Amino acid sequence: MSVPADLLALDARDPLSYKREEFALPDDLIYLDGNSLGAMPKAVAQRLQHVLDEEWGRQLIRSWTGEADWMSLPDRVAAKIARLVGAKPSEVAVGDSTSINTFKALAAALHQTPRKVVLTDADNFPTDLYMAQGLNALLGGQLELRRVPSDQIAAHLTPDVGVLLLTEVDYRTGRKLDMRGLTAAAHAQGILTVWDLAHSAGAFAVDLNGCEADFAIGCGYKYLNGGPGAPAFLYVAERCHAAAPVFLSGWMGHADPFEMGREYAPAAGARRYVVGTPTVLSLSALDTALDVFADVDMEVLRQKSLSLTDTFIRLMQPLTQKHPLTLATPEAHAERGSQVSYHHPDAKNIMNKLIARGIVGDFRTPDILRFGFTPLYHSHADVWRAAEGIAEVLA
217: CB partners within 8 A, 6+ apart: 98, 101, 102, 105, 194, 195, 196, 197, 198, 232, 233, 234, 235
* Annotated catalytic residue 221: yes
Q: How far apart are CA 391 and CA 312, in angstroms?
A: 12
Query: Which residues sit in the known binding site?
Result: 98-99, 125-128, 167, 196, 199, 221, 251, 277
Of 360, 385, 364, 389, which is closest to residue 125 (Cα–Cα)?
364
> Coil, strand, or helix at residue 127?
helix
Q: What is the mean pLDDT of the chain?
A: 97
Q: How far apart are CA 266 and CA 148, in angstroms?
A: 36
258: CB partners within 8 A, 6+ apart: none
Average pLDDT on 333-352 reads 98
- Among the options 23, 221, 312, 373, which is catalytic? 221
- Among the options 75, 196, 214, 362, which is catalytic? 196
pLDDT (tens digit per residue) in 68-96: 999 999 999 999 999 999 999 999 999 99
Average pLDDT on 249-276 reads 93
Of 17, 13, 12, which is closest to residue 296 (Cα–Cα)?
17
Burial class (CB in 10 A: 0-12, 13-18, 19+), 204: buried
Q: Quick check: 368 and 343 in contact, CB under 8 A?
A: yes
Average pLDDT on 30-51 reads 98
* Annotated catalytic residue 222: yes
First to last CA, the chain: 17
- Among the options 31, 103, 125, 215, which is catalytic? 125
Q: Is the peptide bond before 345 cis (omega within 30 degrees of 0)?
A: no
* Annotated catalytic residue 223: no
* Annotated catalytic residue 18: no
Structural domains in the chain plus CATH codes: 5-31+297-394 (3.90.1150.10), 50-293 (3.40.640.10)
Q: How far apart are CA 17 and CA 35, in angstroms?
A: 19
pLDDT (tens digit per residue) in 187-227: 999 999 999 999 999 999 999 999 999 999 999 999 999 99
Residue type, 356: A
What are the two backbone dihedrals, phi and then psi, of residue 23, each rounded to the nearest 5 degrees? Answer: -115, 145
- Among the options 47, 176, 222, 272, which is catalytic? 222
Q: Which of 21-25, 84-88, 167-171, 256-260 has the lowest mean pLDDT?
A: 256-260
- Among the options 272, 304, 336, 370, which is catalytic? 370
Of 29, 308, 345, 20, which is closest to residue 174 (Cα–Cα)?
308
What are the two backbone dihedrals, phi and then psi, of residue 386, each rounded to the nearest 5 degrees? Answer: -65, -45
Could you give the dihedral angle defined by the CA atoms of residues 101, 102, 107 and 108, in that order, rounded to the nearest 10 degrees?
60
Spell out the alpha helix ranges (H) of 37-117: 42-50, 73-85, 98-111
Which strand (E) or helix (H) includes residue 93?
strand 92-94
Res 373: pLDDT: 98
* Annotated catalytic residue 196: yes
pLDDT band at residue 1 under the 50/70/90 scheme? confident
Q: Is the pLDDT of residue 273 over 80?
A: yes
Query: Which residues sit in the known binding site for pyridoxal 5'-phosphate?
Result: 98-99, 125-128, 167, 196, 199, 221, 251, 277
Res 291: pLDDT: 98
pLDDT band at residue 301 under the 50/70/90 scheme? very high
Q: How far apart are CA 233 and CA 98, in angstroms?
A: 7
pLDDT (tens digit per residue) in 140-188: 999 999 999 999 999 999 999 999 999 999 999 999 999 999 999 999 9
